[in-house]
Amino acid sequence: MCGIVGYIGTREASSIVLEGLRRLEYRGYDSAGLAVLQDGQLLLRRSVGKIENLAALLAQQPARGYVGIGHTRWATHGGISEANTHPHTDCKGEIVVIQNGIVENYRELREQLLAEGHIFRSQTDTEVIVHLIEKYYHEHGDLSTAVRLAVTRLKGASAIVALSTLEPHHLLAARLGNAGGIVVGYGQAEMFIASDMPAILEHTQRVSFLENQEIAVITSDGARFFSLSGAPLEKDIHTIPWDPVSVAKEGYQHFMLKEIEEQARSITDVIRSRLDLEAGRVRLEGLHAFSAEQLLSIRRIHAVACGTAWHAALLSKFLIEKLARIPVEVDYSSEFRYRDPLLNPKEDVLLVISQSGETVDTLAAMEEARGKGVRCIAIVNVVGSQAARLADGVIYLNAGPEIGVASTKAFTSMLAAAYLLGLYLGQQRGILDKCQMEKLLQDLLELPSLVGKVLAQHDVYKTLAQRYFKCRDFLYLGRGIHYPIALEGALKLKEISYIHAEGYPAGEMKHGPIALIDENMPVVAIAVRDHVRDKMLSNMEQVRARGGIVIAIATEGDQEISEKANHTIFVPEASPLLTPVLTVIPLQLLAYHIAVRLGCDVDQPRNLAKSVTVE
């Protein structure tokens, strides 16, 4: 979704802002623009489509100056057009604003401002903000006061950055609610601002985070922070452990493939330093806010998430119920937040799973639970993200930045983190004895090398992609712990190849989807050797009996499955609770190669955004 970058310092702002916007392309956008202060004037450059169009425009019409802001827009209000592209200006062209989020009351504000004589040039909700700032500047003669007063008029979540010729020596930023983060980056005689770390990582790893209802005034020497009432605030400066190299493609054609191939390492990174093998225990430093009594008193966990992370939440139910014997209810964040869930603050815990830690529905679900006194545990990738900051306990994935919009390595790390959480709760509650723990830890330790073996097969996916890329529908079937994997396989295919795909619990096939089966719809069946393997075999036979095509994911050496399927991809034998980490990888690779064969924009699929910061 929309991206924000800002710079103030001694270097040319437009190239730093443009490069920052390029690094935010993965968030998803449809147009891009920037504004630079040059010789006391604001120069605006905006274009529809890819950042390269903006770069071409800048090459023809350079904008030179040392202060600038830029934005990638993902349209919400008003079509995709140059006029609707950010930055937006006030009536006189003295103030510019970029925004992430939605102004829910923009219609009423726009009418008031129109009645007061303001001139609007776009159909966006954002434009009301810049006119409000203009109005309050002329009443108070001070930009930070104007921004504060403007922000207090807005309903909905917004992250805003403003720049003005009236006060050219600083940038102003404001955050209202959860419209994605705002990080302020510290350099040497230069400062940065961005919605996401990757935009500024090559310049600095030292950042402060803007919280809800806070304002930052940023000069080239530093930043001052204020509450919405104008009270000064102290902020910590954090050092982010990600290095700039991890956000580069490193020779891969796509980030998605790089991230798929990184999975042996990313799984090692989530378990690293969390296992005490001698003692046969799991250490989760991030959960120390939960006392032994509190962990014992948990009677129910509510797992909430969206998209791929929701599939991880579905899987966490299997893992936590098995390992810690605590019932887990799974909800979409967007449903949980609006259904007035029954929560008991003494016995319930909310488990939030999110790669970005900025997904607006997930943050709202956290607020719903916290409002009812329920404590939260977050499994999150992005360090310092809002979910991590709101949670009482955090398990970081340590997967490094995930740039491909289609989540891959974050998903498998989420599964490993949920397994760790299940082990930890099982150990702390006395469910798992030392001997069981040792075996379960050993299983986990073996996982990265098994992942490496799955990744070592390459050719099969290209062959399958070549054969089936023209199909318009796919069905994915799995049972038990592999049902969420069937859902995930289908989601991966549809989001990057635009092929319709459905995931189904295999036992449900005969209650409807079987009517779809014919020689044009491949059925991907996850049929590894476990307690439901024979049931999967029967389902595969039912598909074949109707002329359907079966692509099976089976355990190495299972010839019977291979004989029943048209194609088989083998995965090594692993502990049943960890096998989903292995079975999902072939589905990621299948989706990837089909999308490449179709010539799709794999890393930035149409209409999608990496962090979904609007409802």
**What are the residue numbers of the active site?**
2, 610
Give first-to-last CA distance, the chain, whole Å. Answer: 11
Q: Which residues contact 610 (CB under 8 A, 6 or more apart)?
A: 1, 26, 27, 28, 356, 402, 403, 405
User: Residue 429 and residue 315: Cα distance in Å, rounded?
Assistant: 21
Shortest approach of ligand AGP to residue 496 CB, angstroms? 8
CB 332 within 8 A of CB 306: yes
Residue 596 — φ and ψ, nearest 5°? Answer: -65, -45
Shortest approach of ligand AGP to residue 35 CB, angstroms? 29
Shortest approach of ligand AGP to residue 562 CB, angstroms? 30
Nearer CB in complex with ligand AGP: 14/407: 407
Shortest approach of ligand AGP to residue 544 CB, angstroms? 31
Asked if 43 touches ligand AGP (CB under 6 A), the answer is: no
Q: Strands (DSSP E) along 372-520, which ranges?
A: 375-380, 393-396, 473-478, 500-505
Nearer CB in complex with ligand AGP: 306/501: 306
Q: Pattern of binders to ligand AGP over 336-375, x per CB under 6 A?
A: ------------------xxx--x--x-------------
| Size of interface with ligand AGP, in residues (CB under 6 A) | 16
Nearer CB in complex with ligand AGP: 127/495: 495
- Contact range with ligand AGP by CB under 6 A, out of 72-80, 282-290, 301-309, 418-426: 301-309
DSSP code string of 248-308: S-TT-S-HHHHHHHTHHHHHHHHHTTSEETTTTEE--GGGTTS-HHHHHT--EEEEEE-HH
158, 308, 316, 428: which one contacts ligand AGP (CB under 6 A)?
308
Shortest approach of ligand AGP to residue 591 CB, angstroms? 10
User: Residue 517 and residue 81: Cα distance in Å, rounded?
Assistant: 43
- Contact range with ligand AGP by CB under 6 A, out of 143-151, 225-233, 302-310, 476-484: 302-310
Site for ligand AGP in 406-445 (CB under 6 A): 406-407
DSSP code string of 13-76: HHHHHHHHHHHTGGG--SEEEEEEEETTEEEEEEEES-HHHHHHHHHHS----SEEEEEEE--S
Nearer CB in complex with ligand AGP: 68/605: 605
Instruction: Please give the distance of CA 63 from its chain centroid, rounded to a whole number.
Output: 33
3, 177, 307, 484: which one contacts ligand AGP (CB under 6 A)?
307
Shortest approach of ligand AGP to residue 28 CB, angstroms? 9
Site for ligand AGP in 550-609 (CB under 6 A): 608
Nearer CB in complex with ligand AGP: 41/246: 246
309, 365, 397, 506: which one contacts ligand AGP (CB under 6 A)?
309
CB 101 within 8 A of CB 68: no
Q: C-alpha distances in angstroms, 85 versus 30, 38, 74, 82, 127? A: 9, 20, 9, 5, 10
CB 561 within 8 A of CB 552: yes
Site for ligand AGP in 20-39 (CB under 6 A): none
Nearer CB in complex with ligand AGP: 306/376: 306
DSSP code string of 69-120: EEEEE--SSS-SSTTTSSPEE-TTS-EEEEEEE--TTHHHHHHHHHHTT---
Amino acid making up residue 340: D
User: Residue 31 and residue 11: Cα distance in Å, rounded?
Assistant: 25
Shortest approach of ligand AGP to residue 311 CB, angstroms? 8
36, 284, 377, 405: which one contacts ligand AGP (CB under 6 A)?
405
The residue whose Cβ lies closest to ligand AGP is 307
Q: What is the largest CA-CA distance in the chain?
A: 79
Nearer CB in complex with ligand AGP: 425/608: 608
Shortest approach of ligand AGP to residue 290 CB, angstroms? 22
Shortest approach of ligand AGP to residue 362 CB, angstroms? 5
- Tokens at residue 219, please? 């000069």
Site for ligand AGP in 450-509 (CB under 6 A): 495
Site for ligand AGP in 154-193 (CB under 6 A): none
102, 174, 306, 420: which one contacts ligand AGP (CB under 6 A)?
306
As to burial, measured by CB atoms within 10 angstroms (0-12 exposed, 13-18 middle, 19+ buried), residue 95 is buried
Q: C-alpha distances in angstroms, 319 versus 254, 417, 577? A: 32, 10, 7
User: Residue 12 and residue 580: Cα distance in Å, rounded?
Assistant: 49
257, 611, 613, 614: which one contacts ligand AGP (CB under 6 A)?
611
Nearer CB in complex with ligand AGP: 167/358: 358
Nearer CB in complex with ligand AGP: 92/338: 338
Q: Which residues bind ligand AGP (CB under 6 A)?
A: 306-309, 354-356, 359, 362, 405-407, 495, 608, 611-612
